[in-house]
Amino acid sequence: MRIAVVGSGYVGLVAGACFADLGHDVVLVDNDQAKLTSLRSGQTPIHEQFLPELLERHRGKRLQFSDDLQTAVKASAAVFIAVGTPPTEQGEADLSYVESVARSISGAINGYKVVVEKSTVPVYTSDWIRKIILRNAAAPDSFDIASNPEFLREGTAVTDFLYPDRIVIGVDSERAASVLRQIYTPLTDGSYYRKQDAIPQPDRARIPPPIIVASAKSAELIKHASNAFLAMKISFINAVSSICESVGANVQQVCQGIGADSRIGTRFLNPGIGYGGSCFPKDLMAFRSVARECGYEFRLLDEVMRINEDQRHRFLRKVRNALWTLRGKRLGVLGLAFKGGTDDIRESPGLLLVQSLVQEGCVITAYDPAAMERARAVLNSSVQFANSPYEAASGADALLILTEWEEFATLDLKRLHRELKYPIIIDGRNLYDPDTMAGLGFSYYSVGRAAPIAEGSTAGAGRPEGKLAQS
Ligand code: UGA
């Protein structure tokens, strides 16, 4: 099938490359000339596993790049809108890019097309797109609007796309449903997975994935409600971790116990320094606004956001409790990306913490396997950057772990101990076992788990975690 994907951001670029891998002819449309030039010349603008391979495989063949939206629409049976929907100051999704794309599409409808929302949009957006296209003189039976939300995570976006838990198609006509079904047939009939050069299967893949057909409005809500639910799960466990700290329980054991209930599950129950990224914070605000507009005050979402912010402040208090005063303290920081496996620093809780610590007068040397270039542009010269975790730790009063990179979970701890001025680690991602760390002579503070005092250690003025909440 011939497909146009409008917007070459995270979702558009991954979707375009994956559609090409499913065998479709794809035109990826963007109005950013610099981006088009770099894509055409073989660069991959985002750090994403398997994406360079797919772009290399299909660039100039089944995957073309263009700034000509109208020609792309004319040549395509389906047009996916994957442009940004950034938050306004009030927290609503700004749909002006979606509207302007819809307007351009209307002038290029030369036969039946399915216009598909791929961006995360509030419920009712499909109705608006339809109105805009009709207002601009397209015939009512010449197109349908569909919603096909994307559930990919940064860092694993390509495998999430090709091995999804489910494919949701929100349609209000059988004709549109059949076009979308056809696009995803290589996944739903399993033929893609039998290909020699298919992108490797991740753990827990559901093959073939189920297809869920819903109304366009239901599909729009599925996306917002999924993200809100996942964020709620994270805030829930972060709240539980605070209680664990107060009573001296171990949040990991608690997670194991509650996650073993198959109705709950263990995934997305990792406590930490709060969720970040370009999706959860923005989508929760947008969902709350949508609910309010529909006459429902979704206070639960306010609380999810409040707990998320509080989690960062609690971590700062932990740093203070471990080090006493902060002015002039040298800190090594591991992790600036909002999570492991990506160079994205948008709404990164780790980066926000670094900024707060700089304001408190700390002297920071940071290391991140992928996000340093982006972080440098934001932090300017307020932070030094290191070439390795050990260099970041060298001579530091304490080491902070702020992103759950796999690399940070397998450090040479003896070497780290030698590098640090004081063997103090404050781990916002629970990457190590507290007893092992104490055995190695570290004063180790983590989230929702008691901090055993290292034998023979005098380093750090930290009190036991159990006392934190009372102090
Ligand atoms: C999220 C959703 O997981 C995707 O399903 C969705 O498609 C995407 O948003 C989107 O709407 O585009 P993403 O933002 O890439 O994906 O990242 P996640 O893996 O969900 O992590 C979000 C944040 O939560 C990160 O800061 C991460 O460190 C944190 N997190 C995640 C936790 O603190 N604990 C957990 O157990 C899981």
Q: What is the 3-state secondary structure (H, E, C) of 232-257?
A: HHHHHHHHHHHHHHHHCCCHHHHHHH
CB 367 within 8 A of CB 334: yes
Does 151 contact ligand 1 (Cβ within 6 A)?
A: yes
CA of residue 153 to ligand 1 center, whole Å = 6
CATH of 223-307, one of 1.10.1040.10, 3.40.50.1000, 2.60.210.10, 3.40.50.620: 1.10.1040.10
Q: What are the sequence ranges of the domains in the chain?
A: 2-214, 223-307, 314-470
- State pLDDT tens for residues 40-51: 999 999 889 999
Nearest alpha carbon, ligand 1 atom 19: 153
CB 171 within 8 A of CB 177: yes
Give the relative orientation of helices 51-58 and 10-21 as an angle to the nearest 10 degrees: 60
- CA-based torsion, 304, 308, 313, 319: positive or negative: positive
To test the pocket of ligand 1, the residue of 13, 275, 311, 430 to mutate (highest count of ligand atoms within 8 Å of its CB) is: 275
C-alpha 397/C-alpha 456 separation (Å) is: 18
Does 153 contact ligand 1 (Cβ within 6 A)?
A: yes
Which of 68 and 137 is assigned the larger pLDDT? 68
Which of 93 and 298 is assigned the larger pLDDT? 298
314-470, superfamily in CATH? NAD(P)-binding Rossmann-like Domain (3.40.50.720)
CA of residue 280 to ligand 1 center, whole Å = 7
Residue 346 has pLDDT above 60, yes or no: yes
Q: What is the side-by-side order of every strand in the sheet holding 398-401?
A: 384-385, 363-367, 330-334, 398-401, 424-427, 443-445
Strand-strand pairing, 398-401 and 384-385: unpaired
Contacts (Cβ under 8 Å, ≥6 apart) of 37:
none
CB 331 within 8 A of CB 362: yes
CA of residue 158 to ligand 1 center, whole Å = 15
> Catalytic positions, please?
279
CA of residue 199 to ligand 1 center, whole Å = 22
Q: Given this model, what pLDDT does residue 457 score? A: 55
* CA neighbor of 246 nearest in space, from 462, 448, 427, 444: 448
Strands (E), 172-215: 211-214
Strands (E), 232-346: 330-334
Same topology for domains 2-214 and 314-470, yes or no? Answer: yes
C-alpha 427/C-alpha 399 separation (Å) is: 8
- State pLDDT tens for residues 215-240: 999 999 999 999 999 999 999 999 99
Amino acid at residue number 126: S
Which percentage of the chain shows pLDDT scores above 90? 90
CATH number of 2-214: 3.40.50.720
- State pLDDT tens for residues 244-296: 999 999 999 999 999 999 999 999 999 999 999 999 999 999 999 999 999 99
Residue 464 has pLDDT above 50, yes or no: no
Does 234 contact ligand 1 (Cβ within 6 A)?
A: yes
Does 48 contact ligand 1 (Cβ within 6 A)?
A: no
Residue 468 has pLDDT above 90, yes or no: no
Q: Given this model, what pLDDT does residue 225 score? A: 97
Give the position, in ligand 1's atom list, of the atom nearest the Cα of 226: 5
- State pLDDT tens for residues 365-379: 999 999 999 999 999
Does 12 contact ligand 1 (Cβ within 6 A)?
A: no
C-alpha 16/C-alpha 26 separation (Å) is: 6
* CA neighbor of 217 nearest in space, from 260, 172, 261, 176: 172
Nearest alpha carbon, ligand 1 atom 12: 279
Confidence of residue 158 (pLDDT cuts 50, 70, 90): very high
Length of the chain: 471
pTM: 0.94
- State pLDDT tens for residues 84-122: 998 888 888 899 999 999 999 999 999 999 999 999 999
Q: Given this model, what pLDDT does residue 450 score? A: 86
Q: Tell me, what DSSP letter sits at residue 332? A: E
* CA neighbor of 463 nearest in space, from 320, 332, 255, 259: 320
